[in-house]
Structure 1
Amino acid sequence: MIGSNGEGRTAPPRVLHRLAIFVALLSLTALVLGFLGRWLWPFDLLNHFRVHCVAFLVLAAGVLLGLKDWKNGIVAALGAALAAIPLFDYLVPQNPASLPSSSEPSLRVLTFNVWFRNEDFARIADYLATSGADIAVLQEISEHQGRRLHAALEMYPYAYVGGASESDAIVFSRWPIGAAQTVQLSANGVSAIRVTIEWNERPITLVAAHLHWPIGPRTADRRNAELAGLAVLAQSHTDPLLVLGDFNITPWSPHFRAFLDASALHDCARGHGLDPTWPSQLIALGIRIDHCFASAHWRTLDASIGPSVGSDHRPVLVELQLAG
């Protein structure tokens, strides 16, 4: 068990030793309490900082082993190794089946919470114009703002902004938009946008959502109910499906994993790194809460995080191909 034993050390190493012990204990405690996150919302918040806990444990283990505190150093290192296991799905490239096929076209989709305080629409328009995205999903934007932004984007002849008041989201597309509607995700939850897009003479379905921020028992329950509603919606589709948006959840939450299991979707970020998306002002300390999920029809070729564009979120850009 980790504990402090500063005997035989001079003052600076003793302070460093105690600090390393404290950091290791704090990180291990957060990781253990996170297992209760399935039932208690405050502990689920701790799950979102798994990457940070692993980094702190590695740092603490290095300090402790450097100070020849072998027992505590090994405990911290083992804790870091166990906590890092779920991270490898995102750090290790996926199997060769995800390699591009020269015979199939690729689709680039973008999701971006532009932030309701962000009024620099010229900067947003410039980014979208140079992003190369075929479809752009934006959140925290009104219908009026969406129409204003669309007027500045000649590369997107098609748009659905009429559902912004209900869903907090809009869609721009280079490809024709067919059916478009808002879908209520749960009794007291938000609505999502569902659009059918004619891509290369094949219909695909795209769902855009901005879920509740899970601070407090009521909003956490609403977020989880919205995830369940999205899973039911996804299961009702047999055509190629993409689900994008700001979900206010990280891959380390049990509710995230439950959503993937129930929806049969996969996280497009797997195998493409751990880059955070929020808050953009402190991105080195950030977490990834903006996502793109895809049905089994798709394989992900690339997933990356865009630059800061005046929002507290970073954009997410994903390139996909139909798998067969």
Structure 2
Amino acid sequence: MSVIRKLLVYFLLLAGSLLILITLCSLIYSSSLWFLQVLNFPRPEVLIALIVCLTAYLLASKQQTIARRVFLTGMVVSIGIQAYILFPYSPLANEAVRSAEPASVNRKSVFSILVANVWIENRQVNDLLNIIADKDPTFVLTMEVNDWWVGQLQVLKKRYPYTITFPTDNAYGMALHSKLPLNNPQIQFLHHPRVPSFWADVTLPDGKTFRLVTLHPVAPAPSKYPTNIGGKEVALVRAGRMLAGHSQPTVVAGDFNDVGWSHNTTKFARVSGLHDIRYGRGLYSTFNAHSWLMRWPLDYVFVSSHFRVLAVDRLPGFGSDHFPYYVQLTLQP
């Protein structure tokens, strides 16, 4: 074996061992060990890296040793773990929320929501307004809004006369603009006093009603802003508990600051009984819009079983570190 080939094999062994370690550590959950929770995020990238590393190793190393068998077993098991966790987001999986044909639904039961984390430092508001005008959603949910952003979005009032706003300078402000009346609106603080969630009841033109909840929980990492580190129960799970057992049709939307396959998000889905509309459709990764390599889904729409999906789309960037996320739904009879 040539020197270059030996070096390549050693590199692949080192890289593969690191990927195996990352995979195993990502299975450990502890709210205080934030760095292990972060390992949940790049599962798609780790899966691709595992497959590339395994393929390259098989081509570069032909020696039949016990160490080689152990390494290959670890690589195959790690690929299986990552693929198993990500499989529900594959088009090969069953849709958690079934699709509906546009021609078969009552248009008065159809509505749409555009979820956009604007990034508090971003100033490309006109690009966002153009996206909103193009998609013309029923609801526009913006997050990380401060007073400047709320002021800039005032131009939406003509088409979206119903609003709930809570601007802040801590990157957790929120604004909801709606074409439909927001009945019994509430601003609740589930875990931090300056991190709001919005709760409202909505009546569609056909008379059917549903509950709309918008969230932007704090990220599971240390921050100069509010942090979840050391918290006993994060906002997402707390919201799930509040929604559990209710038979009312429900939509929960927002930047969850977590991936759909994380402990907290899967627990939220289990406790609340709501479903991620991405299941069976794809990842639709919305963050990081500034990186071609490290991207994963952070913005979500979860719904109860009363709904059907007409459209899902990740929209073009507008200067934020998040892409807008668009969903069109219909509420079944």
TM-score interval, smaller chain: 0.7 to 0.9
Contact 2:161–2:178 (CA<8 Å) still a contact in 1? Answer: yes
Alpha-carbon distance between aligned partners in 1 of 2:244 and 2:230, rounded to the nearest angstrom: 21
Describe the superposition over 1:25-48 as per-residue Cα deviations: whole angstroms up to 9, x where unpaired.
111101111222235322111111
The alpha-carbon distance between structure 1 residues 60 and 323, as it changes in their structure 2 partners (threshold 3 A), is: farther
**TM-score between both structures, scaled by the size of structure 2:** 0.85
Alpha-carbon distance between aligned partners in 2 of 1:303 and 1:123, rounded to the nearest angstrom: 20
Q: Which residue of 2 aligns with 1:20?
A: 12
Kindly indicate whether structure 1 or structure 2 has the higher relative contact order, using CA contacts under 8 Å at least 6 residues apart. Answer: 2
Describe the superposition over 1:264-285 as per-residue Cα deviations: whole angstroms up to 9, x where unpaired.
1111211121232112100431
Matched, 1:183 2:188: yes
Alpha-carbon distance between aligned partners in 1 of 2:106 and 2:147, rounded to the nearest angstrom: 35
- Give the alignment partner of residue 105 of structure 2, picking from 103, 107, 110: 103
Q: Which residue of 2 aligns with 1:238?
A: 247
SS in 2 for 1:47: coil
Contact 2:9–2:61 (CA<8 Å) still a contact in 1? Answer: no
Deviation at 1:150? 3.2
Q: Which residue of 2 aligns with 1:90?
A: 89
Matched, 1:202 2:208: yes
Q: Which residue of 1 aligns with 2:281?
A: 272
- Give the alignment partner of residue 255 of structure 1, picking from 257, 264, 281: 264
- Give the alignment partner of residue 142 of structure 2, picking from 138, 145, 157: 138
Q: Which residue of 2 aligns with 1:34?
A: 26
SS in 1 for 2:175: strand
Q: Which residue of 2 aligns with 1:58?
A: 51
Of the structure 1 ranges 255-264 and 86-95, higher mean CA displacement relative to structure 2 is found in 86-95
The alpha-carbon distance between structure 1 residues 124 and 160, as it changes in their structure 2 partners (threshold 3 A), is: same
Alpha-carbon distance between aligned partners in 2 of 1:48 and 1:243, rounded to the nearest angstrom: 21
Show structure 2 runs of 5+ residues with no match: 63-67
Deviation at 1:148? 3.2
Deviation at 1:84? 0.6
Deviation at 1:164? 3.4
Alpha-carbon distance between aligned partners in 2 of 1:224 and 1:309, rounded to the nearest angstrom: 33
Deviation at 1:141? 1.0
Q: Which residue of 2 aligns with 1:46?
A: 39
Describe the superposition over 1:87-122 as per-residue Cα deviations: whole angstroms up to 9, x where unpaired.
111112535971315134332211110010111211
Q: Which residue of 1 aligns with 2:160?
A: 156
Deviation at 1:213? 2.1
| Moved beyond 6 Å, runs of 4+ | none
Describe the superposition over 1:154-197 as per-residue Cα deviations: whole angstroms up to 9, x where unpaired.
43333222x33596111112222222120121366732011222
Q: Which residue of 2 aligns with 1:4?
A: none
User: Percent of pairs identical after alignment?
Assistant: 22
Contact 1:188–1:222 (CA<8 Å) still a contact in 2? Answer: no
Alpha-carbon distance between aligned partners in 2 of 1:269 and 1:46, rounded to the nearest angstrom: 21
Matched residue pairs, number? 315
Contact 1:212–1:219 (CA<8 Å) still a contact in 2? Answer: yes
Q: Which residue of 2 aligns with 1:113?
A: 117
SS in 2 for 1:31: helix
CA RMSD between the two structures: 2.6
Show structure 1 runs of 5+ residues with no match: 1-8
Amino acid at match of 2:105: S
Alpha-carbon distance between aligned partners in 2 of 1:188 and 1:182, rounded to the nearest angstrom: 11
- Give the alignment partner of residue 309 of structure 1, picking from 289, 305, 318: 318
Amino acid at match of 1:87: L
Describe the superposition over 1:277-320 as per-residue Cα deviations: whole angstroms up to 9, x where unpaired.
11210043122221111122223343322111110111111122
SS in 1 for 2:257: coil
SS in 2 for 1:281: coil
The alpha-carbon distance between structure 1 residues 146 and 223, as it changes in their structure 2 partners (threshold 3 A), is: farther
Amino acid at match of 1:314: F
The alpha-carbon distance between structure 1 residues 204 and 150, as it changes in their structure 2 partners (threshold 3 A), is: farther
Of the structure 1 ranges 271-280 and 211-220, higher mean CA displacement relative to structure 2 is found in 211-220
**TM-score between both structures, scaled by the size of structure 1:** 0.87
Q: Which structure carries more helix by proportion?
A: 1
Contact 1:135–1:172 (CA<8 Å) still a contact in 2? Answer: yes
Amino acid at match of 1:194: W
Alpha-carbon distance between aligned partners in 2 of 1:87 and 1:222, rounded to the nearest angstrom: 27
Contact 1:37–1:47 (CA<8 Å) still a contact in 2? Answer: no
The alpha-carbon distance between structure 1 residues 159 and 219, as it changes in their structure 2 partners (threshold 3 A), is: same
